[in-house]
Chains A and B, each alone.
Chain A
Amino acid sequence: MEDLIWKIKDGHQASFKVLYDQYADYTIRVAIAITKNSAYAADAVQETFIRVYNNIQSFDDSKPFEPWLYRILVNECNRVLKKQSKTISISDYMEDSSIMSEEDSYEFEEYEDLYSAIEDLEDLNRIPIILKYLRGFTENEIADILELNVNTVKSRLFKGREKLRKMMERYKEGRRQYE
């Protein structure tokens, strides 16, 4: 990995492609899960790798690369989402509002599967869950990526997981009633 970084620092563009191939799959997955939208995810991943390429000289190679990469990725995802939230159309808003009202009435039916439940978690819990379960980061690594205290990460993961577990139980129960 260090060699690869050194080559990129030397301006070797082909090595950057190797790095992209190595990390693209999971960065795209994480971006899709965070942004809940493939087009936004593509924008976030594109900007992330361009930032990596432009700022690789400032990367301290005595530190692990992946937390640095994912810190940029999470920031880019948030940036894309913030940009989109400013241009949200009235129809999108109406659609979201209707979902919310149905959610109140039919509870578990909204959670068609576990992924929907994850999507419905608050960002505080959702992003640590995505980083842990999708990419397999440790709690310390997540703390590093999100620039949080490790105990905060532990607490958010625990709460997120508990919420998911309850949602899944309700979902399964609901399915049984309909069967």
Chain B
Amino acid sequence: MNNRLNKHTDEEIKDSLMKQTDASIEMKNEIWSRIEKRINEDNENLEKSEVTINNEKETDKQLRNNEEQIYNRRARKNNVVEEINTVQSRSNLRKGRINMRTEKRNQKNRKRMFNIGTIAASLLIVFLAGTAPGHATIERIKDFFLPEKPIVEEIEGMKEEKNVQLQESKYGYVIYFDETVYKLEELEGKDRILPMNQAANYPEVYMEIQQVEDKNIETSATEIQKELKDQYEIVMTGEEVLEPVKGILLYAQAGNEWDDEVLRYYIVDNTQGGSFIIKQQFFVEASEGHGVRFDNMLKEFQIVKLQE
């Protein structure tokens, strides 16, 4: 009897749900049109960004060719200088003319040497930008970081093309972000990157970066992990990561509601026995917005050595 009643209830629930959602048939084609449109738009955007990338590759190729030409010319020039020196020792009569020619070539050579230096420094930066954090003297290398560059960022499945600007910190690093969306505030001993317009009634969102010279990454990570465990309901075990920066990732969440606080830390080796503590604070629903943007910023994070 009870089973029969249950079965009857089950059928009624099912019938009711099916009947009340019959609009699905009419909506099906309209939704597909919207999906198709979005996919086509995304594909077009992707093609455009591929063209940009190909153009950038072409520019890189040209730069490499130029570099090779410079090296070859330099080698040829050195041979010419040696030849001139030999001739110089043989004939004092031709000395003035040869000196003139040498001076001209030296001028050219200095110019070329500058180009070689620029490329070599760029290569050094590219090398430093790899998985291992490296050092460079900020005064010497800051000229080699582009003050602004275009990036393509994917937020909640949508690709956004934008320009990001170089930020040089007095705490020994450089980073890029979109200055129309974020700003950098200097606090005591650390920097805070935060949205230009922090929405009212929303939990606070920011990313703080500080260098702790007297604590290595393990010590810093252990201390922060302990604090998180004391304060937050959900705390992830720390893990080593290679992206967006090489370091230790710590993660904590106050709960699963849309506005529950989320904390994400990256502890990065400063290669001098200390560490960089990067703290991101946002909220559950901002994970795919600010959370992703902060991580994208960190992909461009570079440690630089401050000049004494």
Interface residues of A (CB under 8 A from B): 13, 16-17, 20, 24-26, 28-30, 32-33, 38, 41-42, 45-47, 49-51, 53-54, 79, 82, 113-115, 118, 129-130, 133-134, 161, 164-165, 168
Complex contacts, B39 vs chain A, CB 8 Å: 13, 16, 50, 53
Which A residue's beta carbon lies closest to that of B158?
Answer: A50
Which B residue's beta carbon lies closest to that of A39?
Answer: B27
Q: How many angstroms from the CA of A26 to the CA of B258 in the assembled complex?
A: 27
Q: Are A25 and B24 in contact (CB under 8 A)?
A: yes
- Interface range on chain B: under 10, 10 to 19, 20 to 34, or 35 or more? 20 to 34
Q: Are A42 and B21 in contact (CB under 8 A)?
A: no
Q: How many angstroms from the CA of A29 to the CA of B35 in the assembled complex?
A: 17
Q: How many angstroms from the CA of A98 to the CA of B9 in the assembled complex?
A: 30
Q: Are B27 and A51 in contact (CB under 8 A)?
A: no
Q: Are A165 and B35 in contact (CB under 8 A)?
A: no
One of B11-19, B169-177, B262-270, B272-280 at the interface = B11-19
Pull 30 A–B residue pairs with CB atoms less than 8 Å apart, ordered by A: A16-B39, A20-B35, A24-B24, A24-B31, A24-B32, A25-B24, A25-B28, A26-B24, A28-B23, A28-B31, A32-B23, A38-B27, A42-B27, A42-B30, A46-B34, A46-B35, A50-B38, A50-B42, A53-B39, A54-B157, A82-B258, A82-B285, A114-B12, A115-B20, A129-B13, A130-B17, A133-B13, A134-B14, A134-B17, A168-B12
Q: Judge if B50 is at the interface, Cβ distance under 8 Å.
A: no
Q: Smallest CB–CB gap between B142 and chain A, Å?
A: 37
Which A residue's beta carbon lies closest to that of B15?
Answer: A114
Q: Would you list which residues of chain B between 215 and 238 have a CB under 8 Å from chain A?
A: none
Judged by DSSP, the binding face of A is helix
B35 partner, pick from A50, A118, A130, beta carbons under 8 A: A50
Complex contacts, B9 vs chain A, CB 8 Å: 161, 164-165, 168
Q: Judge if B25 is at the interface, Cβ distance under 8 Å.
A: yes
Q: Are B20 and A28 in contact (CB under 8 A)?
A: no
Q: How many A-B residue pairs have CB under 8 A?
A: 89
Which B residue's beta carbon lies closest to that of A25?
Answer: B24
Q: Judge if B10 is at the interface, Cβ distance under 8 Å.
A: yes
Say whether, besides A42-B30, A168-B9, A25 and B25 are in contact (CB < 8 Å): yes
Which B residue's beta carbon lies closest to that of A52?
Answer: B35
B28 partner, pick from A24, A30, A164, beta carbons under 8 A: A24
Q: Are B30 and A29 in contact (CB under 8 A)?
A: no
Complex contacts, B34 vs chain A, CB 8 Å: 42, 46
Q: Would you list which residues of chain B between 134 and 161 have a CB under 8 Å from chain A?
A: 157
Say whether, besides A47-B157, A115-B16, A28 and B35 are in contact (CB < 8 Å): no
Q: Are B21 and A29 in contact (CB under 8 A)?
A: yes
Considering the complex of A and B, which 9 residue pairs feature the smallest CB-CB distances, nearest first?
Answer: A28-B24, A29-B21, A114-B16, A115-B20, A134-B17, A133-B14, A32-B21, A133-B13, A82-B258
Q: How many angstroms from the CA of A32 to the CA of B24 in the assembled complex?
A: 8
* Residue among B9, B35, B42 with the highest chain A CB neighbour number at 10 A: B35
B31 partner, pick from A13, A16, A17, A46, beta carbons under 8 A: A46
Q: How many angstroms from the CA of A26 to the CA of B34 in the assembled complex?
A: 18
Complex contacts, B12 vs chain A, CB 8 Å: 114, 168
Q: How many angstroms from the CA of A118 to the CA of B21 in the assembled complex?
A: 13
Complex contacts, B16 vs chain A, CB 8 Å: 113-115, 118
Complex contacts, B25 vs chain A, CB 8 Å: 25
Q: How many angstroms from the CA of A108 to the CA of B50 in the assembled complex?
A: 61
Say whether, besides A46-B38, A49-B35, A82-B285, A41 and B27 are in contact (CB < 8 Å): yes
Q: How many angstroms from the CA of A94 to the CA of B9 in the assembled complex?
A: 34
Q: How many angstroms from the CA of A13 to the CA of B37 in the assembled complex?
A: 12
Q: How many angstroms from the CA of A41 to the CA of B25 in the assembled complex?
A: 13
Q: Are B31 and A115 in contact (CB under 8 A)?
A: no
B17 partner, pick from A29, A46, A49, A51, beta carbons under 8 A: A29
